[in-house]
Amino acid sequence: MIRAMTGGGLRLETNKERSTAAPLRAASVPAEVILPLDQHAGTAARPLVKVGDAVLLGQPIAEPTSDISAWVHSPVSGSVIAVEPRPVAYHAASSPCIVIRNDFADRRDNANTAVDYASMSPAQLSDHIARGGIVGLGGATFPTASKLSQAVAQPDLHLLLNGAECEPWISCDDMLMRERAADIVFGAHVLMHALGTVSCTIAVEDDVPQAIASLRAAAAQVQPHIRIATLPDVYPAGGERQLILAVTDREVPAGRLPSDIGILCQNVGTAAAVARWIRDGEPLITRIVTITGSGVREPANLETRLGTPIASLIADCGGYTTDDRRLIMGGSMMGLAFSDDRLPIVKGSNCVIVPSPSDLHPRSAEMPCIRCGNCSEVCPAWLLPQQLHWQAQAHDVAALESFGLMDCIECGCCDYVCPSQIPLTQRFREAKVPVQAELLARSEAHLSRQRYEARGERLVRIENEQRARLEQKRREITGRKSPP
Amino acid sequence: MFAAFALTFALVSLLAVALLWPRESPASNESRLIDRINDLLPQTQCRRCTFEGCKPYATAIARGEAGINQCPPGGERTMIELAELLKREAIAVDPKFGVMPAQPAVAWIDEAVCIGCTKCIQACPVDAIIGGSKFMHTVITDDCTGCELCIPPCPVDCIEMRPKAAMTGAVT
């Protein structure tokens, strides 16, 4: 039973057709690729190569450093010319990067081969998926194997593949589902095997009929059966928690994970990447990127080698239409603005928008909150943005926490409807930092208190034991001294 | 008539139960207060307050034997929270109980110099140092509260405080 998102959300005018008119094609391969070591969620990877090393296409060049980290592979063959910090589009600071000069020979690393996943145990398969450098391609870039291992102990898991691309400009998953539905279905089967489950749903918004048709056709050819669920195109239906509620009618509790209610969510692009790694032995070295907006001549979806500078993709799309160089990485609702087009495409780059002024929701100066309550009506997480706004201004960490700031998914719906043009999402993003620090301090205090109390109990126990031993000895001695 | 009588009887018996219900003992009242105070303390267990740990300090506060301005790690915030909880006057944290470093710090053992005397292990209030007798010791950085209690007992001065941010890998 599919229902519309329960409360909240917006019906937005979509602009997907601009970038879906042309078929999916490969982007031109650049002379130099820049690969950030922290392009995934978790800890940065550790480089395995140094300046001057020759590398092959698909060769691992950096290894994970913790349970939540990922391998990085070379998307070209050539030589390493730098291992140094470079600017990136996903945060303000620079990131450590490996820079590789392409020799355009595309010499492959023959160590990467296809594997027979059906003969592997779920744990082996999960390890192997990690070696492919595969992370969530929906944008959050959480390492896929880490997500699998968090869920694997759960019985009756349900795999939910997220094809609900709700951001109004992004169409990379739409194109992937249209043209590579078989990859998604194969990847779904691999993920199901890794989780030891046979139930899987692919959720898609109802405004992508071609994608739905090709998914249905691909799913019909293989067993076990994969359900294709369609849901109304309400933004942000593709948010993980929103999607789970819409498709399964179950809510993920605050502060918990979907796996706690027996659901594992993966993006359709991630499933396709898993398929290419398992079936073709190709690690995650390319991804589909939507290049769109009125500021670019021929919007399109391009299959791009990771590390390609954004300027090269813009050139592939016919170049800029204006000199006004504003860029958005990600969607128009949740994306981040940046201006330097030399920055590289990374695993999480699903879309680059080159907007003209007419594309953007015009914003005037911020005015005071009039308590209209529009924001709480559209909030898909059922928060009260107007209250959070006051509390954030007052830096009231305790109130922000109790009003559920950490459940804000930063979707931008409240900004969109605010008649006073208050940049609420930006405020919430900033306010989360001290709240997060407070939560961390509290959990650390809780742990050190436990250890302190455990130590106290242990010291008392040791002392009592020692006293008992002394007492025992004293009794033995006095017993011996007494006459027989 | 009967209904009115029954209702009156029910109300009177309810009132009687409410009045005669056993009150909380003063002891459990106090222990609850101690727990609430302890919840506000940072659990550094550093003894800067002159008590043997956060809970003993909480106990002393509850009994009116200590001020609310003796916790440097908690700083002004903890003092204000304590003042609100206890309806006492806010009062600046007394620097005589110590001053905290600007950045949170953790202990670090120079493992090449450590002689394995176990004195720091015994001093650590939260079991954050591991090692055996005559073997090198090391600090579990994630568990260290920065209390500095391990520094004075070290006979070879091989322990120093280092900024916590530099000691733990930053997780994005």
Question: Is there a contact between B38 and A449 if contact means CB atoms under 8 Å apart?
Answer: yes
Q: Is the pLDDT confidence value at B170 over 60?
A: no
Strand partners for A96: A85
From A84's Cα to the closest Cα of chain B, the distance in A is: 18
Cβ contacts of A452 on chain B, cutoff 8 Å: 43, 45, 53-55, 125-126
Q: Is A41 on the interface with B (CB under 8 A)?
A: yes
Closest-CA distance, B172 to chain A, in angstroms, reads: 6
Q: What is the pLDDT of residue A336?
A: 87
Q: Tell me which chain A residues have a C-beta less than 8 angstroms from the C-beta of B147.
A: none
Task: Residue A52: name the closest of A85, A74, A84, A80 by CA.
Answer: A80
Q: Look at residues B35, B41, B39 and name the one whose alpha carbon lies nearest to residue B62.
A: B35
Cβ A448–B38 below 8 Å, yes or no? Answer: no
How confident is the model at residue A11, as a pLDDT?
87
Cβ within 8 Å, pair A448-B43 = yes
3-state SS, residue B163: strand
Q: Is A399 exposed, middle or buried (0-12, 13-18, 19+ CB in 10 A)?
A: middle
Q: How far is B158 from chain A (nearest CA, A)?
A: 24
Mean pLDDT (whole number) for B32-49: 93
Q: In the CATH scheme, what is the code of domain B105-166?
A: 3.30.70.20
Q: Are A286 and A349 in contact (CB under 8 A)?
A: no
Q: Both ends of chain B: CA-CA distance in Å?
A: 73
Scanning every residue of chain A, which has its alpha carbon at the shortest distance from the alpha carbon of B129?
A: A451
Was A265 annotated as part of a binding site?
no
Is B158 annotated as contributing to ligand binding? no
Interface subset of B 41-70, CB within 8 angstroms of A: 41-45, 53-55
Q: Where are the beta strands (DSSP E) in A124-257?
A: 158-163, 200-205, 227-231
For residues A38 and A176, what is the distance between their CA atoms, to the nearest angstrom? 25
Domains of chain A: 17-26+110-287 (3.40.50.11540), 368-484 (1.10.1060.10)
Q: What is the pLDDT of residue B172?
A: 33
Break chain B into its structural domains and give their ranges: 25-97, 105-166
> CB distance B127–A451 less than 8 Å?
yes
Residues of B in contact with A446 (CB under 8 A): 43
How would you label A187-214 residue by residue, b for 16+ Cβ within 10 Å and e otherwise? Answer: bbbbbbbbbebebbbbbbbebbeebbeb
Q: Cβ contact (<8 Å) for A449 and B145?
A: no
pLDDT at A130: 94
Q: Establish if B172 touches chain A: CB-CB under 8 angstroms.
A: yes
Tell whether A454 lies on the interface with B, counting CB pairs under 8 A.
Answer: yes
In this predicted model, what pLDDT tens digit does every residue of B67-111 receive, in sequence order?
Answer: 999 999 998 889 999 999 999 999 999 999 988 888 889 999 999
Alpha helices (runs of H) in A281-319, residue ranges in sequence order: 310-316
B 100-129 residues inside an 8 A Cβ radius of A:
125-128
Token pair belonging to A357 = 């002024």
CATH number of B25-97: 1.10.15.40
Residue B71 annotated as binding site:
yes
- Please give the model's pTM, rounded to 2 decimal places: 0.79
Q: Does A246 touch chain B (CB under 8 A)?
A: no
Contact assessment for residue A169 and residue A211, using Cβ atoms and an 8 Å cutoff: no
Q: What is the pLDDT of residue A483?
A: 58
A375 annotated ligand binder = yes
Q: List A residues 87-106 in contact with B (Cβ-Cβ < 8 A).
A: 91
Q: Digits of tens for pLDDT over chain A (484 positions)? A: 344 455 688 888 888 888 888 899 999 999 999 999 999 999 999 999 999 999 999 999 999 999 999 999 999 999 999 999 999 988 878 899 999 999 999 999 989 889 999 999 988 999 999 999 999 998 889 999 999 988 876 778 899 999 999 898 999 999 999 999 999 999 999 999 999 888 999 999 998 999 999 999 999 988 888 999 999 888 888 899 999 998 988 889 988 888 888 899 999 999 999 999 999 999 999 999 999 998 899 999 999 999 999 999 999 999 998 877 789 998 888 888 888 889 999 999 999 999 887 777 777 889 999 999 999 999 999 999 999 999 999 888 889 999 999 999 999 999 999 999 999 999 999 999 989 988 888 889 999 999 999 999 999 999 999 999 999 999 998 877 665 5
User: Out of A41, A42, A452, whose CB is closest to B126?
Assistant: A452
Subunit contact B143:A451, Cβ cutoff 8 A? yes
